[in-house]
Chains A and B, each alone.
Chain A
Amino acid sequence: MLRLEARPHPSTAALLLAPLLAVLLTLLAGALLFALLGFAPAAALKAFFITPVNSLYGLGELAMKATPLLLCAIGLAVGFRANIWNIGAEGQLLMGAIAGSGVALFLRPADGAPWVLPAMFLAGALGGMAWAAVPAFLKLRFNASEILTSLMLTYVARLFLRWLVGGPWRDPDGYNFPQSPMFAPDAVIPPLLHGTRLGFGALLALAVTLGGWFLLSRTFLGFQIRVIGLTSAAAGYAGFDRGRVTWLSLLLSGALAGIAGLNEVAGPIGQLTPFVSPGYGFTAIIVAFLGRLHPIGILFASLLVALSYLGGESAQISLGLPLAATDVFQGMLLFFLLASEVLVRYRPRLARTRG
């Protein structure tokens, strides 16, 4: 009988190896899944993980997909560290996209106004922040679970977006498609590199990653966040302000998700549509855990998960694999990661006694 023996200290080796083990197991399970669906596993895995990134354009796309995941996941990780479960990043992302689009569509600037994009980013951050402020307020004032309220608000945000693009904000010349007019050139983020679609949002996400690392590892506030998450009672004795940390982590993750949403509509999309996000806000939960709630880990995790998005599209085009395979892949990855996590805190032992 296999027994799990608690380690006195978390194992550093296992800490680093667990994500790698999870990726390996996911690839194996993925190959099995492809075989079951009637696709040659090797070809499917190649289409999934190699083809999308064998060109400069492909690498640019990878960074572009990783950007919203990275932005959302950094914010979520700060909350998760403090046991604050904002799972409504998707809704906050949409509200950020909506708020930023509002600026682009209605404050129609004179040609060459340099303040438009900054104003859009600010509006995006505030939109996401406002949407995240609701669960924070309801949790602190009424003790309502932020898990459920933030998720319910995601459904509300989706419906609100659908109403906007189908009604008041619909492009009058858009053949009745539910989408806004294209943004003016000044309201669109220019590409950083020729031959890619990558904008400076990616650089911003990198800066946010460093900022997240600094906040969590190098500030007293970050220390408070970690203590509240690890031992709630000790944090109480130390007099750490739980309310402040709740506000901070929800507003921060809301603002970052909002920026992520704005970066999509002002970047690759260039208009407000109902398809701003293929679920980046939810996938960011996986990214945050895969990166072990550590900003640098999250950076790598966001690239890997972004690859699974590109891979899903590439495998759909070249092999006709259903796009939902991406979600299954991402779900499996998180499962295997949570399973390998056990090795960090426990040592498996063969023992005769019953467990």
Chain B
Amino acid sequence: MDHVTAILVSVLLAAAPLLFAALGELVTEKSGVLNLGVEGMMLVGAVCGFAVTAHSGHAALGILAAALAGMALSALFALLTLVLLANQVATGLALTLFGVGLSALVGKPFVGTPLEKLPDLPLPLLSHLPLLGPLLFDRDPLIYLAALLTLAVGWLLARTRAGLVVRAVGENPEAAHALGYPVRLIRFACILFGGAMAGLGGAYLSLAYTPMWAEDMTAGRGWIALALVVFSTWRPGRLVLGALLFGAFTIAQLHAQALGLAVPPEFLAMLPYLATILVLVLISRDAARIRLNAPAAIGKTFHPDH
């Protein structure tokens, strides 16, 4: 693998956890629910994926556990916001604070435990393609899963009846309810999907990207994923672009450090956060575009009797 391919691969790997988490949040938001708990769900996914893999020796079980853990946390969010009609912003923040603490508590015994990196799975034939082969088709299974899920979500949301119903629930829940669609059930399913995806994003960090567990190892990626959803104007295709862009920022920062640039490493580490702010400003500047693309009912509590 030549130098350029190596850099492109590292960008792809840095983008994957963001893509997982952001894709899940995109579906949640499309149904009209804003879940600010992504960071917490990612962390719990990361620690559960790591713990189960370390105990069982099977990465597949760990990945499954991570998705389920993220889902369990998101179910808590769903219970509070859909059934007990709690404020979505406050509940999401609570979920993140809780997830940070819970993951640190559960992960205590695993700090410093070594783990084998999730192995690459070269696809037959495709991995021998020139250029693209080593870049895209000689990766770990979670990368393939991320790609498949992105395609599936894009297709489901834009081209199927189910996607139309989800979008309707996010745009106008009262109308969807009047037409007989179970608004809260649909939102519940979308929230669970978001949780599972955040869990997978976390698992990607602790099993493949840096195979270890450390407190707060997501370092704000859950929040960057939230910003990515806005950046994508709620479109899965652009989400991939955004995730790759942020992957590139992360990698640029690491390479600059390795090259011994005269800039202190702390300033380089600020890059992804500052880039998030910059990107958010550039996209949000056009208020009309945000209004047009954002699900109209996002963040609003829905009560069927009102």
- Interfacial residues, chain A to chain B (CB-CB below 8 A): 3-6, 37, 85, 87, 138, 142-145, 147-149, 151-153, 155-156, 159-160, 162-163, 166-167, 282-283, 285-286, 289, 322, 324-332, 334-335, 338-339, 341-342, 345-346, 355
Contact = CB atoms under 8 A, between A and B. Distances in A.
A6 B226 contact: no
B284 A142 contact: yes
Contact of B303 (A6, A324, A325): A6
B93 A285 contact: yes
Interface residues of B, number: 48
B234 to A, nearest CB: 14
B276 A152 contact: yes
B254 interface: no
Interface in B69-109: 76, 80, 84-87, 89-91, 93-95, 97-102, 104-105, 108
Given A152-B223, A324-B101, A330-B97, A163 B90 contact: no
Contacts of B91: 335, 338
Interface stretch (B21-29, B122-130, B137-145, B262-270): B262-270
A142 B303 contact: no
22 contacts: A4-B85, A5-B305, A138-B277, A147-B89, A148-B280, A149-B280, A156-B274, A159-B267, A159-B269, A160-B266, A327-B98, A327-B105, A328-B98, A328-B102, A329-B101, A331-B100, A331-B102, A335-B98, A338-B94, A341-B87, A342-B85, A346-B85
Contacts of B276: 148, 152
B37 to A, nearest CB: 10
Nearest to B40: A331
A211 B223 CA distance: 33
A285 B280 contact: no
Contacts of A163: 264, 266-267
Interface in B234-289: 264, 266-267, 269-270, 273-274, 276-277, 280-281, 284-285, 287
A144 B281 contact: yes
A149 B277 contact: yes
B115 interface: no
A334 B94 CA distance: 6
B306 interface: yes
Contacts of B215: 324
Contacts of A37: 105
A155 B230 contact: no
Nearest to B223: A151
Contacts of B223: 148, 151-152
A147 B306 CA distance: 29
Given A85-B89, A142-B285, A327-B102, 18 more contacts: A142-B284, A144-B285, A145-B284, A148-B223, A148-B226, A148-B230, A148-B277, A152-B227, A159-B266, A163-B264, A163-B266, A285-B97, A324-B101, A324-B108, A330-B97, A331-B98, A331-B101, A334-B98
B220 interface: yes
B47 to A, nearest CB: 11
A151 B226 CA distance: 11
Contacts of B105: 37, 322, 324-325, 327-328
